[in-house]
Amino acid sequence: MMRLSAMLVTQLVAAVWMVGGLSGVGGPASSENERAGRPAYWRLQPGDSGQATPSKEAVTPRDEKKATSVQPTDAKVVDAAFDKRLAAVDEKMAAVTDLRADFEQKKKTALLKKPIVSKGSLLCKGETVLWRTTGPRKSDMLVAGGEVTVYYPDDHLAEVYSMGPEFRDASGGPLPRLSKLRESFEFAAMEVKDMVGGGEKVDVSTRIAIRLTPKTEELKKHVGSVRVLIDERVPCAERIVIVDPEGDETELLFTGVKINSGMKDAELELKLPEKTKISRPAGTGK
């Protein structure tokens, strides 16, 4: 089950904020996957240990400084206003029945001079999430019915992983409430400007920035911290930055977001060609 959780970290944590919440855990990506240009959600291949040790670098010094710069009296006021905004976002997220968006993912690691960039689209409805990565290497990932199916058309291969109850509890499906996420993560307010690029122009009054720190030891093995920028008007994430225990970052930027568009169930079907080899890697529960 460890391999499954590691593989899903980026896309599942991202889905938390795109549709009101998926969360997962993950570990370091294998060098084989980096060379192949696979997206960062493919965190571990069968045979990887899935073990990682939480690192102090998971929370940057700048974040730590901001977290300690608020005086106790002011902190109560800030926390109350922050919680009120989160509650409003939570209420809006509860009304989302389906969502579609484009994404760009950048994987930054000390081992590479340039980030690995992948692009694609995301579809969500009910408890089903479909990620379609179009480049540089095509792949589809379907999360549905307690299983994750990853399809590589170039390899004529599909790998199926079973999600254990501990990870279903952590994720709560694609549309859990923020109160469910609080069981697994500590929430802290951030400055919106720290989540926006230098050349970007956004209305900071309609954005809320959050830093999540995992509570459980299982999550801490794979996730250092998560930083999220939410557009409260939609509501969904515009940007997500996931830091693993080794200090490597994965950034996702979402554009073209559409919610409650009347998505058909057929749009979320993953149709595998007849000659596709279907594999259930050892240790995935089946």
Instruction: Report pLDDT for 161.
Output: 85
- Confirm whether 266 is domain-assigned: no
Instruction: Report pLDDT for 188.
Output: 92
- Confirm whether 236 is domain-assigned: yes
CA distance 34 to 213: 26
The model's pTM: 0.70
Instruction: Report pLDDT for 149.
Output: 92
Instruction: For residue 263, give every residue at least 6 positions away whose Cβ sits within 8 Å of its Cβ, in sequence order, or none.
Output: 98, 100, 123, 125
- Confirm whether 202 is domain-assigned: yes
- Confirm whether 280 is domain-assigned: no
Residuewise pLDDT in 10s, the chain (286 residues)? 334 443 445 555 555 445 444 333 222 233 334 334 433 333 332 333 333 333 333 344 444 444 444 444 455 555 888 889 888 888 888 888 899 999 999 999 888 889 999 999 999 888 788 999 999 999 999 988 888 899 999 999 999 988 754 455 444 333 445 667 777 889 999 999 898 876 678 888 889 999 989 898 878 888 899 898 888 888 888 888 989 898 999 998 989 999 999 999 999 999 999 999 999 986 555 5
- Confirm whether 276 is domain-assigned: no
Instruction: Report pLDDT for 283.
Output: 55
- Confirm whether 272 is domain-assigned: no
CA distance 265 to 124: 10
Instruction: Report pLDDT for 120.
Output: 95
Strand order across the beta sheet in which 147-152 lies = 185-190, 207-214, 225-231, 236-243, 249-259, 98-108, 116-125, 128-135, 139-144, 147-152, 157-162, 277-279
Report yes or no: 9 and 27 within 8 Å, Cβ to Cβ. yes
- Confirm whether 180 is domain-assigned: yes
- Confirm whether 229 is domain-assigned: yes
In total, how many domains does the chain have?
A: 1
Range of the domain at 9: 2-260
CATH number of the CATH domain containing 180: 2.50.20.10
